[in-house]
Structure 1
Amino acid sequence: MSDPGWVKFAVSGNVATWSFGGAWTIDHAAKLSRDLAEAGAPGSGAAVFDLGNLQQLDTSGAWLITRLGRAMDAAGIKVETRAGDPDLAALLQRVAETRDVLPAHPRRRNLSDKIAELGAGVETILLDSRDLVAFLGALVLALGRLSLTPWKLRWNAIFSHLEQTGLNALPIVGLINMLVGVVLAFQGADQLARFGAQTFTINMLGISVLREMAVLLTAIVVAGRSGSAFTAQIGTMQVNEEVDALRTIGLNPMDVLVVPRVIALVIALPLLTFFADMMGLLGGGLMCVVLLDISFQQYLSLLNQAITTDQFWVGMSKAPFFAVLIALVGCFEGLRVSGSAESVGRLTTRSVVESIFLVIIVDALFSVMFSYLEI
C-alpha cells in the first residue's frame, strides 16, 4: 500500500517549490486539501510543482493539484511542473485540460424574457403550421399522382392498416361510446326530471350522440391509438434509416408510408363512427328503459320521432375530415423524428396532442358552419 499523500513547501530565492508525494487519492482528499491550505503561499513570481515522489494519483488528487495551479495562474505566478511517472503526469494533464462545468446561477427572468419566450413559441407554431400545410400539399400531389396510376397503390398495406385502425379499434370505441351514452341518458333524465320533461331525454341523447359525441370521441380515441402508432412506426423507421433506404432504392416515402395510412384511416373512421353511433344509442337506450320506465320498442319509436337523417349525416360528414387530420399529423411528426429514441417518444406525444387539438378546432368550425346553414 502506498504512503498517505503529503505536500512540502520550500522557498529558494524567488522560486517556491511544492513537492508532492505518496498517494493523492480520494481516500486522503480531505486531509490533502487542508495540507495545501496550511502549506503557505509563494511571495515570488515563479513556482515549481515537483511530482517525482507521487506514488498514486486519481482524479480527485489531480484536481487538488490543478486547483492550486489555477489559483497561482490567476495571481500571476508562473508554474513549472516537473513530472515523475508518465502515466500520472498524463492524468494530471487530462484533468488540467478539463474546465469546470458547474452551472451558472440562473438569471432572474424579467418581462422582456417572457415576451421573448412568447414570441419564440408563436414563431414555432407558425413554422410548424407552415410545414404541416406544405406536407398536406405534398400528400394531395401524391394522391393525384397515384389516382392516375392506381396499380401503384400498395393495397396490401392499405388493408393491413385498415385492419389495425378499424377492425382492431372496434372494442374500445364501442365500449367508450356505450358508456358515454349511459352517462348522457342518466344525467339528462336527472336534470330534465326537475321540469317534468324526462321524455325529452331521448331527444337530447339522439341529437348529441349522432351530431357530436360519437364522432368526436371516436376521433379522439383513434388519434391516441392509431395516430400515435403512425408516428411511432415511421419514427422508428427514421431512426433505423429505413426511410433513407427507401429513397435510395427510388421509392417515395410519401407513396409508400403516408398514402396507405391516410386512405385506410379515411375508410375506417366513418365506419367506426357509425358503430359508435349505434353503441351510444344502445347504451343510452338501456338507461332510458331503466329510468323512464318504457320498453325498448317505445324507446326506438320515440328516438325515430326525435331525430332525422340530417342529424346522422352531420356527424358522419365530419369523420373523413378528422381522419385526414389524424393521419396527416401522425405521419408528419413521424417523418420529423431525428436519430434518437427520445425523439420518437417526444414526437409521438406531440402527435397525439396536436391531433386532438386540431380535431376539436375543426369540430367547432363545423358546428358554427352547420349553425349558420341551419342544418
Structure 2
Amino acid sequence: MQKPAEFSVQAAAGERPTVVLSGDWTANNLGDAPVGLAEAVKARGDIAADIRKVRRLDTAGAYALVRALGHDYDLKSVLARPESERLLELVGHAVHVEPMKIQPPRGFHELTLRIGKGVMNIGYEWVDTLAFLGHLLVVVVRTLGFLFTNPKRVRWAAIFSLAERAGLDAIPIVAVTSFFIGAVVGLLGANMLRQFGAEVFAVELIGIAVLREFNIIITAVLLAGRSASSFAAELGSMKMNQEIDAMQVMGVDPFEALVLPRFLALLLTIPLLTFVATLAGLFGGLVVVWSVLSLGPTFFLQRIVDNVGAVHFWVGMSKAPVMAMVIAGIGCRQGLEVGGDVESLGRRVTAAVVHAIFAIIMIDAAFALMFMKLNV
C-alpha cells in the first residue's frame, strides 16, 4: 500500500533542527510535499535532513529534496540508507552539471556540412524514388491483370473523376496560355525575319515551335503547377489525418486506391491537352501572321501542311505520356512523404512543383538530343 510523502521538523533545545521525511517520495505520491519542504527549509535556514524512514524514493523525490535543501547543501550529511544515499549523490551530481555549450559550425566547416547533408539527401531521395517506382510498377501490372480477370476491381469512377478534375478542367488555361505563346512566337519571328525579307518563313517557325516543343512544354508546366501540387496536397492531408494508415490497417493498398487512379488520369488526359495546346498555339500564330504580315488562314495552313508536316506533331505528342507519368509520380510521391505537421505539407507541395518542372525541362532536353541523333 502506498503512502503519501510526508515530512516533519524536529527541533530540540540547543540543537540543529532536523527535517524528517517519511512515506513514499515517488513521482505519484509527492503531492504538495516538495513545496512545503522547501518553505520549511527556507524558514529555518541551517537544517539537517533524515530520510531513513522513507519507504520508497525515486529520482523525482530525490530531486525534490535536493531542490528544497539548496544546491550548496552537502548531501553527504543527509542521514539515509546506502541505496538512498547513492540516488541522492546521482541526482545531486546531475543537478550541478553545467550544460555543455556546442558552438555552431561556421565558415568552411558549415559549408562542408551543408554539402554533405545535401549529398546524403540526394541519395536518400534516389532510394525512396526507386522504391516508389517499384511499388507503382507492381500495382500497374496487378491492375492490368484485373482488366482481364476482374474489371470491376479497377477504380473506374476515381480515374474518370480525377481525369475531369485534373485534366479536362485545365483546358481553358492551357488553351489561353498556348494561344499567347503562339502569338508571341509569331510576332518575334515576323519582326526578326523581316530584316532579311523572309517574313513568310514565320509560318514555319510557328509551326515547328508549337508542334514540336511549346505545346507539350506549356501543357506539362501548367499541369505541374496545377495537378502535381494538387496531388501532393491531397495525399499529404490524408497522411496528416492518418487516413492512409487507416487504409493500410483495413487491407487497402494506398498505391492502388490513391496513386494509380491519379497516374492513369493524367496519362489519359495529357495527350488531349497537348492537342488542344497545339491548336491554340497555331491559332495564336495564325492571328499574328494574318494581322501583321497580311497572310491569310488558307496560306498559313497550306504552308504548315507542305513545309512542316505531321512529323513534328508526332514528335511533340510522343513526349506526352512520359510527362504525364513524371508529373503524377512526383506529385503522389511527395504527398506520401508528408509528415505530421503543416510545415512538412507546405514543403512537400513546393517540392512537388519544383521537382516536376525541373524533370520536365530535363526530359525535354533528353528528347531533343535523342531526336537529333535519330535525325527526326
TM-score (ref. length: structure 2): 0.72
Distance change in 2, residues 1:338/1:371 (3 Å): same
Distance change in 2, residues 1:51/1:213 (3 Å): farther
Structure 2 match to 1:180: 181
Structure 2 match to 1:252: 253
What amino acid maps onto 1:237 in structure 2? M
SS at match of 1:149: helix
What amino acid maps onto 2:142 in structure 1? R
Q: Report Cα offsets for 1:169-210 as digits up to 9, x if no partner.
A: 000000000010111111111111111111111111110111
SS at match of 2:339: coil
Distance change in 2, residues 1:146/1:292 (3 Å): same
Q: In 2, Cα distance between the equivalents of 1:179 and 1:162?
A: 25
SS at match of 1:195: coil
Structure 2 match to 1:23: none
Structure 1 match to 2:276: 275
What amino acid maps onto 1:140 in structure 2? L
Q: Report Cα offsets for 1:101-152 as digits up to 9, x if no partner.
A: 9xx8974622232122112112211210221122111111101011111221
Q: In 2, Cα distance between the equivalents of 1:327 and 1:353?
A: 13
What amino acid maps onto 1:126 in structure 2? G
Structure 1: segments with no counterpart, 5+ residues: 1-47, 53-68, 80-96
Using the TM superposition, give the Cα deviation of residue 100 of structure 1 relative to its aligned residue in structure 2, in angstroms. Answer: 12
SS at match of 1:283: helix
Q: In 1, Cα distance between the equivalents of 2:143 and 2:236?
A: 24
Structure 1 segments (4+ residues) deviating >2 Å = 48-52, 104-108
Structure 1 match to 2:62: none
Residue 290 of structure 2 corresponds to residue 310 of structure 1:
no
Contact 1:202-1:306 within 8 A present in 2 as well: no
Higher alpha-carbon deviation: 321-330 or 134-143: 134-143
What amino acid maps onto 2:268 in structure 1? I
Q: In 2, Cα distance between the equivalents of 1:274 and 1:317?
A: 12
Using the TM superposition, give the Cα deviation of residue 233 of structure 1 relative to its aligned residue in structure 2, in angstroms. Answer: 0.6
Q: Report Cα offsets for 1:52-71 as digits up to 9, x if no partner.
A: 9xxxxxxxxxxxxxxxx9xx
Using the TM superposition, give the Cα deviation of residue 239 of structure 1 relative to its aligned residue in structure 2, in angstroms. Answer: 1.0
Structure 2 match to 1:119: 116
Using the TM superposition, give the Cα deviation of residue 245 of structure 1 relative to its aligned residue in structure 2, in angstroms. Answer: 1.2
Distance change in 2, residues 1:302/1:100 (3 Å): farther
What pairs with 1:290-309 in structure 2 (closer than 5 Å)?
A: 290-309=291-310
Using the TM superposition, give the Cα deviation of residue 344 of structure 1 relative to its aligned residue in structure 2, in angstroms. Answer: 1.4
Q: In 1, Cα distance between the equivalents of 2:133 and 2:272?
A: 24
Contact 1:262-1:327 within 8 A present in 2 as well: yes
Matched pairs, number:
289
Q: In 2, Cα distance between the equivalents of 1:351 and 1:229?
A: 9
What amino acid maps onto 1:131 in structure 2? D
SS at match of 1:199: helix
Q: In 2, Cα distance between the equivalents of 1:78 and 1:140?
A: 69
Q: In 2, Cα distance between the equivalents of 1:112 and 1:314?
A: 49
Q: In 2, Cα distance between the equivalents of 1:107 and 1:255?
A: 46
What amino acid maps onto 2:255 in structure 1? M
Distance change in 2, residues 1:100/1:139 (3 Å): same
Structure 2 match to 1:320: 321
Distance change in 2, residues 1:78/1:133 (3 Å): same
Of all paired residues, the percent bearing the same amino acid is: 39
Contact 1:206-1:306 within 8 A present in 2 as well: no
Q: In 1, Cα distance between the equivalents of 2:193 and 2:339?
A: 54
Structure 2: segments with no counterpart, 5+ residues: 1-40, 46-66, 75-94
Q: In 2, Cα distance between the equivalents of 1:113 and 1:142?
A: 43
Q: Report Cα offsets for 1:14-46 as digits up to 9, x if no partner.
A: xxxxxxxxxxxxxxxxxxxxxxxxxxxxxxxxx
Residue 139 of structure 2 corresponds to residue 142 of structure 1:
yes
Contact 1:270-1:316 within 8 A present in 2 as well: yes
Higher alpha-carbon deviation: 300-309 or 320-329: 300-309
TM-score (ref. length: structure 1): 0.72
Residue 179 of structure 2 corresponds to residue 163 of structure 1:
no
Using the TM superposition, give the Cα deviation of residue 306 of structure 1 relative to its aligned residue in structure 2, in angstroms. Answer: 2.3
Alignment RMSD (CA, Å):
2.5
Residue 374 of structure 2 corresponds to residue 373 of structure 1:
yes
Structure 1 match to 2:51: none
Q: In 1, Cα distance between the equivalents of 2:278 and 2:353?
A: 23
Q: In 2, Cα distance between the equivalents of 1:228 and 1:321?
A: 18
Distance change in 2, residues 1:113/1:283 (3 Å): same
Structure 1 match to 2:227: 226
Contact 1:182-1:284 within 8 A present in 2 as well: yes
Distance change in 2, residues 1:111/1:299 (3 Å): same
